[in-house]
Amino acid sequence: MNIHETLSRLGLKLPGAPRPVGSYVPARQAGDLIFVSGVLPFRDGKIEQPGKLGRELTVKEGAAAAQLAMLNGLAILQEMMGDFSCLNQVVRLTGHVASVEGFVDQPTVINGASDLLVELFGDAGRHARLALGAFELPLHAPIELELIVQVSSTKASP
């Protein structure tokens, strides 16, 4: 089963790759690693459910935002690689969670992204991870993700 079939089975699909909101590229390849820049939970060009965990968003809503941000990250990878056949493994995921003081469930929130990677790629989707709280994130986003993957080759590098 390919990634798009699995996404369809989950009731999900990859959006168009989001465009940078600053002076950077969405992803950069160095050797056999691709570093995906910070990805936000955009839907139709807008942040889905802006705010902070523990105030405007529940843990469940935060996990959904993390999943959406990961879908955007995967869309960036697809645009860069052409397809996912050259993806060897997900190496590391860093999840920043906009949180109110005292909120400590950042790991549970970032599971929304981690669980999706494992569902889509199996053992190759298991990764090292950092989940941390942030006082503020760009555009009032509740989540920002960074991703590093290892590939065997790609269609083209930006």
Let me know: does 3 contact 75? Beta carbons within 8 Å. no
Around Cβ 119, how many Cβ atoms within 10 Å? 15
Segment 45-63, tens digit of pLDDT: 999 999 999 999 999 999 9
Helix H or strand E encompassing 59: helix 59-81
Segment 25-39, tens digit of pLDDT: 999 999 999 999 999
- Nearest CA-CA partner of 137 in 118, 115, 116, 109: 109
Segment 105-147, tens digit of pLDDT: 999 999 999 999 999 999 999 999 999 999 999 999 999 999 9
Let me know: does 119 contact 1? Beta carbons within 8 Å. no
Query: What's the confidence (pLDDT) of residue 21?
Result: 85
Let me know: does 76 contact 28? Beta carbons within 8 Å. no
Q: How far is CA 4 from the centre of its chain?
A: 16
